[in-house]
Amino acid sequence: MTEPEDPSIFQIAFSLIASFCGIQTKENMARDEAYIEKKGIKVYVIIGFFLVFCILLTLFGIVQLVLHFAL
């Protein structure tokens, strides 16, 4: 039986975005779990923090834009 290849950075990012939204597929969850068992959770944590930072920065920008045009 061949070992599945590791997910790319983009696959990890899309997997985290899907899990943030609650729409993660079982196949992706199994792939992620196998990768975490093999190499650890560090990559997922780093990318997760980066994605949360990007989401917060985007929300801050939208709020600032709305406040600018509202006043």
| Closest-CA residue to 13 (of 59, 65, 49, 48) | 48
How high is the pLDDT of residue 17? 94
Q: Does residue 38 register a pLDDT over 80?
A: yes
- The tally of CA atoms less than 13 A away on the side-chain side of residue 34 is 11
For the chain, what is the mean pLDDT? 93
Q: Please give the Cα distance from 13 to 57 (Å, whole number).
A: 17
Measure the CA dihedral 15/18/20/22, to 10°: -130
Q: What is the DSSP letter of 1?
A: -
Tell me how crowded residue 20 is: count the other CB atoms within 10 A of its CB: 13
State pLDDT tens for residues 7-35.
999 999 999 999 999 999 999 999 999 99
How high is the pLDDT of residue 31? 93
